[in-house]
Structure 1
């Protein structure tokens, strides 16, 4: 195999311009990815004079070649979420750690998960992509955490085919609070047709923005619940944050005592806008919700939310029990 020279480069787009899948790469050098979202890091990197002068594009198969030549870290955890519910806070807390690579909602992974590629080819490409993100560009990296887009919870079985042993969690929040956030500023998946076909689609007509958002949210929460039950995911309620990062999530992410303190350097700032101070808005959102939104959320999303709350209680109890159970030496 010809020696590749992709050190310092990361995939930023995977697309199919003329029947053949291509990968666009961007040079990051040893710059850490500290921004709330991968796309923010890409925008910053593309402003570098080098990236304005030089671009690199390769066939999709190069991902597998690069993985064979220079395998990156295997993923240590995946973060799924219901959107606007604290997953960015978790990823930003982990990004404070020098030994963590945190990739937040990378569009290339979404593109592969929802592509029409044959299963074997798709899995090989996903493994190659994740390996590229897991390259040790600083030399201190030991763990790779990837946060996916909210709608990718429906593609979890495909990701599990590639990484069956990687632990994952599903972060969620009271659906009325999530819905109000999307009424204010809708995410891509809360605008009809914006993200194309996805597992959140249904065949029912909708009569208002409130109806569409509540229905999509209900399907999202129901998918999170079903996947947790089927594949052993950990359900995490927004109300547990950020404290859970010093408790059961510290164990989930394998943080030592020093790291449990370091991650809280991100607390107090707005996770999506680090230059701003975070201000809780649960009560404000509840007051702002219209009667129609209340009714639609209760109809479509309240049931799966309550079931997730019950699962979170079980997960939390199990985590406490595991810490209290003494280790028995059988030798």
Structure 2
């Protein structure tokens, strides 16, 4: 692979084949990643005639080789979250900024974080993957921000080992509102067995969907709390958004006044459905919650949620 040239290419899949880990790449040229999730950007790019005709696959070691050959931006911030709580709004606001690269929940990162890979090889691949995402494909990019999947809060210690100086954020919300959202349309981590083993597992039997979602959510909030305490994370409640982008998040992301104005302009639309206007739905979700769901959410999430609020207010 001497003289490896991956300019304009981004990793879209990491998988194991015949005992060897490999990387699937897709050509993005200089296209900006403005979609709510990295997977959306990949789907759009794969429709290009070029990508239908040409594909690149490499060994996992190519990530490290490409990093050494052409280092990308170091991550400026990591966004962790409790799901359905405003993290996509934050990433979409930042994605509007010309000098920012925002990678939202890229599947290859989750695979490297949780796959069965030797530690040294995993760390090297993680640094190489992030470097690939941090390539200046357009020119003005200065900052790389990565939003992870909700369950990746369990892998924070590994990411801190690789990116010790990178500040990180944990976004959460009234847990009853999160739970109602997952009852309406469950996320992957709220479907038994969908994501495999994760920090959200408690090994206990569950009595129904309300019980399962409430318990998983409790584990998620508890882990976020513990990680904030252990690794100096910044806790942010959904109810601070979007105004926080011109307040304490401006300092966290190192945004100037122009950045803040551009970012806040994006807050008028729905983060996951950009063609729709944003409408606050917290009250509707709380009203929709059944007595059973309220009982389960109170039992499993009250303590970590209250502790997160105390931590946030203390900061």
TM over 0.5: yes
Q: Is the 8 A contact 1:98 1:140 kept in 2?
A: yes
2:47 counterpart residue number: 47
Which residue of 1 is the match for residue 124 of structure 2? 124
Equivalent positions of 1:1-331 (< 5 A) are 2-315=2-315
Deviations 1:178-208 (A, max 9, x none): 0000000000000000001111111110000
Distance 2:175 2:264 in 1: 26
**Maintained 8 Å contact 1:180/1:285:** yes
Given that residues 99 and 143 in structure 1 are in contact (C-alpha distance below 8 angstroms), is that contact kept between their aligned partners in structure 2?
yes
Deviates more, 1:113-122 or 1:143-152: 113-122
SS at match of 1:145: strand
Q: For this pair of structures, how many residues does the alignment match?
A: 315
For the Cα contact (< 8 Å) 1:170–1:224, is it kept in 2? yes
Shift in Å, 1:118: 1.4
Distance in 2 (alpha carbons) for counterparts of 1:202 and 1:131: 34
Quote how far apart the aligned CAs of 1:269 are.
Answer: 0.4
**CA deviations over 1:14-66 (Å, ceiling 9, x no partner):** 01022100000000000000000000000000000000000110000000000
Aligned-pair distance for 1:84? Answer: 0.1
Structure 2: gaps of 5 or more residues: none
1:258, distance to aligned residue in structure 2 (A): 1.1
Normalising by structure 2, report the TM-score. 0.99
User: Normalising by the residue count of structure 1, what TM-score does the alignment of the two structures yield?
Assistant: 0.94
Alpha-carbon displacement from aligned partner over 1:112-160 (angstroms, at most 9, x marks no partner): 0001211111000000000000000000000000000000001100111
**Structure 2: distance between partners of 1:120 and 1:167:** 23
RMSD: 0.7
Cα shift at 1:293: 0.3
* Aligned partners of 1:171 and 1:237 also within 8 Å: yes
What is the alpha-carbon distance in structure 2 between the residues aligned to residue 6 and residue 300 of structure 1?
A: 47
Q: Is the 8 A contact 1:15 1:22 kept in 2?
A: yes
Distance in 2 (alpha carbons) for counterparts of 1:17 and 1:283: 48
Give the Cα separation in 2 of the matches to 1:87 and 1:128.
Answer: 25
SS of corresponding position for 2:203: coil
* Greater CA drift, 87-96 or 114-123: 114-123
Contact 1:190 1:212 in 2 (8 A): yes
- Cα deviation 1:235-289 (Å, max 9, x = unaligned): 0000000000000000000001111111112111000000011111111001100
Return the alpha-carbon distance in structure 2 between the equivalents of residues 270 and 135 of structure 1: 28
